[in-house]
Each structure stands twice: as structure tokens, then as C-alpha cells.
Amino acid sequence: MDPDEVESETARVAAELARRIPAVARVATAAIRREIPFYATSDVVPEAMTQRSVEQNLRFVADALSSAAAFDVSPAVDTGSSRAELGVPLPAVMHAYRITMSIAWHEISSITEGDPPVGRATLLAVTRRLWDAHDVFTDAMAGAHREHTTQRALDHEAERAALTEHLLQGRVGSDQSLWEIAELLRIPRRGPYLAIAAEAPTVGRQALPGIDARLRALDAHCAWRLLPDQQIGIAYAPTEEIRAAVLDLLRRVATTRVGVSAPFADLAYTPQALRFARVALTGPGGLVTVFDGSALGITVASSPEASADVARGLLGGLLALPEDDAGPLFETFRAWEANGGNAAAAAGELFCHPNTVRHRLRRIEQLTGRSTTAPRDVAELCLAFEAAARFGIGPGGS
């Protein structure tokens, strides 16, 4: 068949398809809403919108048949982007387009078999253009959908990060906006919560990759912010069991130091809780350290510079000793304090005689000028040793 004749017949098929578009679109729309659960059960894409989109896609097919020029993929891009914006899953969009193309093909077959029927060469040309158009359309539509979905995810993550930082740093204007932030971060408005600070392994790298999904699997709703040197976050941990599970998970996945605050109930307390988590991060302890929430610990953490000065001033005599002499004195006082001032219990922990504990306590009294029996003096000593432990002041420290 002459090429001009093929083009003429192909144009006739395209023109007839264009004339039938409204009727074909109604059939395709009904099939889409009948066969695809998302379109059948969701009001996200109303029937009228679906039909307009189907008509647009059918015009794309008719235009592709009528001209051998490069395809105009703007309808495909519009469809992919708009459906992504509405939250329509890509498989549902692709399925809808396959239904449209299948019905369009049956309509084209009817046209080519009509009176007069088209020649075999025309039928092959129509088929080739139709499926070339199909490939170009689906690639452009899927690419636009994925690009828009990815951008939305990035925008959402950036928004979550900004809101999380506002919450953790205390830059919240009112209780109302605090509740709004909790809603947007999908965190319950009332705790208990845990504030968490993890040391970044390198600048800008997550210390706890994948922690968000793993905590949510424990029903510990959370939000995170990555800083150059730390990954900071808040986790909703309403029960002892969930808190224990959170700490167990952190101990299993942590590769750098992690500090965790004591539980707190009010979101407005988040910045202070984060500060205590950071104190635990930099203080003594293992890879994962929980701030004890004691009045003594809170006092030291609330006034770090003053507390460190008190420790250096009060414990100056001990700090002037050689490390192997000062070490047992620090260790003994901490064991004695932890055991409620019971020398025998402290001796059991230290694997020494109770008289050894008493002798070391007398040396501490001599070197500090404070008594281990006078309540005020004991309070000052406890504060000084707590600050020394928190800030690395002591044998081998600063």
C-alpha cells in the first residue's frame, strides 16, 4: 500500500477515535471505578475528574495516531503529578491507564474493521503508533508520579525536621502551637517521653540509622533531628515495658555514645530533658547512659559551670594526688554514697575490709575539710563528686 494512503487511512482512524472520545471515556471511567478498589472506595479522585483524565489520555492517543511527530507527553506528566499530589498509589494509576488503553484498542479495532475497512499496512502502522505512544506515556506518567512523590517526601521530612528542632530547642510560642506540633509529628500530647541525644559517628551522619521505624514498631512514636555532631530526638514511651524496650533497642544498635533523659510528662519540658540527655551523653557510663533524674543530678546539670567549679575547688586536695592514690578515694566515696553511707556494704562492693573504707573516708575528710557525718558537709561532697563524675573531673580527667 502506498505510504500516503496509509497516512490517509491512519488519519481517518484517528479522527473517528477523536469523535468517539466522550462515549469511550464514559465506558473506561465506569470500568476503572468498577475494577480498581482505590477508585471504587475512595473519594480522592471523583468520577468527573477520572473521566476528564481519561478523555485527556484518549486525545493523546488520537493525536499520536494522527501524526508521526514526537509525542506530546504533557498530559502524561500532568496525570502522574496530579495523582501523586492527591496521594493515589502509582499501581492504581497504571492500572487505570491500562484499562483506558485496552478499551481504546478495542474501539480502534472496531474502527479499522468498519466500512470501509483499512488495509493491513494501515492496521500495522496504527498498532505500532498506539503501543509506541503507550510506552512513552506510561514512562512519562510514572516518572512524574515518582518525582512528585519523592519531592513530597523530602518536603515532609524537612518540615518534620524543622518542627522537631523547634520542639527540642524550645522555640514554641504557646500551648496551642505545642499541641499542633505534636499533632504534625504524630506524637501524643501527653507523655511520658524520653529525650535522646546520640553522638554522630562523623559530621552530618546519622548515629542511629533507621531508628524511627524501629521505635515505631515498639509503639514508641518518635521524631528526630540530625545536627552536625548529634542526632537528637524525642520518643513517646508511656509504660515501663516500652521504656525498657526502647533502651534495649538503643543498646543493640548504638555504635557511638547515646544519652537518654529520665521520663517526663509535659512536652514543654522537652528542651530541659534534652539538656539532661546531653549531660548523660558526655558523662560517665557505658555506650547508652540514662540520666538518673535525681535532684542531685538535675542540680549539677542545671548549673554545669558552677558545679564544675565547686568540684575542682572542693576536691582540689584529691586532684593534686597521684592518679593511683586518688583513684581509690574517688571510687570509695562513690561506693559509700551509692550504698547509703554503709561502710560494710561499700566494702563488699569494693572487695576490701570495712576499715579500709573508713580509712579512705577519713583521708577524704582531711583533704577536703568536710565531714562525712555532718549533713551539710555530706551534701557538698555528694554535689562535688556528682559534678566530677558528670564532667570528667578526677584521676585521669581534667
| CATH number reported for the structural domain that contains residue 314 in this entry | 1.10.10.2840
Measured distance between the N- and C-terminal CA atoms of the chain, rounded to whole angstroms: 95
Q: How many other C-beta atoms lie within 10 A of the C-beta of residue 65?
A: 24
Q: Report d(CA 228, CA 175) in Å as an integer.
A: 29
Q: Does some domain include residue 177?
A: no
Answer whether 385's CB lies under 8 Å from 337's CB: yes
Which domain-ending residue is among 235, 258, 293?
Answer: 293
Is 385 found in the same domain as 308? Answer: yes
Number of residues that this document lists for the chain: 398
Q: Does some domain include residue 276?
A: yes
Is 260 found in the same domain as 385? Answer: no
Query: How many domains does one find in the chain?
Result: 3
Q: What is the DSSP string of 22-60?
A: HHHHHHHHHHHHHH-HHHHH-SSS-HHHHHHHHHHHHHH
The strand pair at 288-290 and 258-260 is best described as parallel
258 beta partners? 198, 288
**pLDDT value of residue 243:** 92
Indicate which CATH number applies to the domain containing 258. Answer: 3.30.70.270
Q: What is the model's pTM? A: 0.52
Domain that holds residue 354: 302-391
The mean-pLDDT minimum among 103-107, 121-125, 342-346 falls in 121-125
Q: Which residue has the cell 559509700?
A: 336
Q: Does some domain include residue 362?
A: yes
Is 9 found in the same domain as 96? Answer: yes
Is 121 found in the same domain as 16? Answer: yes
**pLDDT value of residue 39:** 85
The mean-pLDDT minimum among 8-17, 174-183, 208-217, 227-236 falls in 174-183
Residue 117 scores a pLDDT above 90: no
Is 243 found in the same domain as 307? Answer: no
Residue 174 scores a pLDDT above 60: no
Residue 11 pLDDT level (bands cut at 50, 70, 90): confident
Which tops the pLDDT comparison, 377 or 391? 377
Residue 68 scores a pLDDT above 70: no
The full 3-state SS of 307-320, as one line of letters, equals: HHHHHHHHCHHHHC
**In the predicted model, what is the mean pLDDT of residues 177-195?**
81
**In the predicted model, what is the mean pLDDT of residues 290-311?**
75
Q: Does some domain include residue 183?
A: no
SS3 218: coil
The mean-pLDDT minimum among 70-74, 149-153, 256-260 falls in 149-153
The strand pair at 264-266 and 190-199 is best described as antiparallel
Which domain-ending residue is among 151, 179, 207?
Answer: 151
Q: Which residue has the cell 524501629?
A: 214
Q: Does some domain include residue 166?
A: no
Q: Does some domain include residue 184?
A: no
Q: Does some domain include residue 178?
A: no
Residue-averaged pLDDT of the chain: 84
Q: Report d(CA 56, CA 75) in Å as an integer.
A: 7
Q: Does some domain include residue 89?
A: yes
In this prediction, what percent of the chain has a pLDDT beyond 90?
23
Q: Report d(CA 264, CA 349) in Å as an integer.
A: 32
Indicate which CATH number applies to the domain containing 144. Answer: 1.10.490
Peptide bond into 228 cis (omega under 30): no
Is 147 found in the same domain as 11? Answer: yes
